[in-house]
């Protein structure tokens, strides 16, 4: 069944089933495919993921190779913070965040794949972390109270959710006044070929579920978030040996030479209220050297 003919609940169940399967796949397999879904590439080893190996708090057992950025690197996590990771998988970003909060902080990972929760809890137990918790739940309706989190992070997950506006609305609910998020995700500029857009494997593979960059940033702005900035942006190139499973040689050439772009972006935004950051701090965020800041006309300012 094509993705655009599925209901939101059918899509979520398909993704849940796929990610329960992906949880048992190796990091190498997942990295050489589109988020662990569909065909692997023999041309490119690492299609979407960034390298965590030098990041403090990194645990190789928790890295399934499913991310598309390093949101914790930009999340401005402080000692003692309460941090929520949306789509926490085997716990990779939670353990990196825990390194930043220290033992006085609280880390909560939320995932709707039972096998991911089980794997993350096993990893936390191995490290004897008593301030890292993993809860089964839907990130469109998080199983947490209002105004709980200082920081929310997520790594290549929102593109898998049919109703992205609802996720951002719940992020707004759960953040404390003055709290902020740093989220890495896949977005589009231009339209995907129909064969990619309608394929269920490519939806679970973080591609077909991606929406237009301006639309994505528009949801954040419309909900009332402030100080929105793109902290990092990089193009995602799908290798020919994967594209060939979906497109003809001519269609691959047209796609690669057309105006469509697939990008990983890391986005920062803050909930109004609380102890507002100074103008100097916000300028520092927007001037991160690893990625362009939000600019007029981009849909996020």
Task: Classify domain 3-286 at the CATH topology level.
Answer: Rossmann fold (3.40.50)
Is residue 298 over pLDDT 50?
A: no
Q: 106-132 burial string, b = 16+ CB within 10 Å, else e?
A: bbbbbbbbebbbbbbbebbeeeebeeb
Q: What is the DSSP letter of 13?
A: H
Q: 10-28 burial string, b = 16+ CB within 10 Å, else e?
A: ebbebbbebbeebbebebe
pLDDT given at position 276? 52
What's the pTM value of the predicted model, to 2 decimals? 0.88
10: part of which helix (H) or strand (E)?
helix 8-22
More confident residue, 226 or 276: 226
Using pLDDT thresholds of 50, 70 and 90, give the confidence band for residue 5. Answer: low
Q: Residue 237 CA to chain centroid, in angstroms? A: 17
In sequence order, which residues have a C-beta less than 8 Å from that of residue 255 and are 6 or more positions away?
193, 243, 247
Establish how many alpha carbons lie within 13 A of residue 239's alpha carbon, considering only the half-sphere containing its beta carbon.
17
Using pLDDT thresholds of 50, 70 and 90, give the confidence band for residue 182. Answer: very high
- Give the number of other Cβ atoms within 10 Å of residue 64's Cβ: 25
**Residue range 15-30, pLDDT digits in tens:** 888 888 888 888 888 8
pLDDT given at position 46? 85
């Amino acid at each position: 069944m094509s993705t655009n003919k599925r209901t939101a609940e059918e899509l979520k169940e398909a993704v849940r089933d796929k990610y329960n399967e992906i949880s048992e796949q190796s990091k190498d397999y997942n990295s050489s495919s589109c988020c662990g879904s569909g065909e692997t590439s023999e041309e490119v080893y690492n299609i979407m993921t960034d390298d965590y190996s030098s990041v403090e708090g990194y645990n190789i057992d928790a890295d399934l190779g499913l991310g598309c950025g390093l949101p914790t690197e930009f999340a401005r996590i402080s000692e003692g913070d309460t941090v929520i990771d949306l789509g926490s998988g085997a716990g990779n970003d939670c353990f990196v965040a825990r390194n930043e909060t220290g033992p006085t902080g609280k880390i909560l990972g939320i995932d709707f794949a039972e096998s991911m929760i089980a794997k993350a809890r096993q990893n936390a137990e191995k490290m004897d972390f008593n301030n890292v918790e993993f809860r089964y739940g839907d990130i469109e309706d998080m199983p947490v109270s209002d105004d709980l989190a200082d920081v929310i992070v997520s790594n290549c997950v929102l593109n898998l959710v049919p109703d992205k506006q609802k996720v951002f609305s719940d992020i707004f609910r759960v953040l404390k006044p003055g709290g902020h998020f740093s989220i890495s995700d896949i977005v589009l500029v231009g339209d995907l070929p129909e064969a990619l857009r309608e394929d269920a494997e490519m939806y679970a593979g973080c591609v077909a579920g991606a929406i237009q960059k301006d639309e994505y940033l528009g949801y954040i702005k419309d909900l009332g978030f402030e100080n929105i900035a793109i902290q990092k942006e990089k193009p995602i190139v799908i290798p020919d040996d994967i594209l060939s499973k979906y497109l003809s040689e001519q269609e691959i050439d047209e796609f690669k030479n057309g105006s469509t772009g697939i990008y990983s972006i890391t986005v920062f935004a803050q909930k109004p209220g609380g102890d507002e950051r100074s103008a100097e701090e916000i300028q520092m965020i927007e001037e991160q050297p690893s990625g362009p800041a939000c600019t007029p006309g981009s849909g996020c300012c």
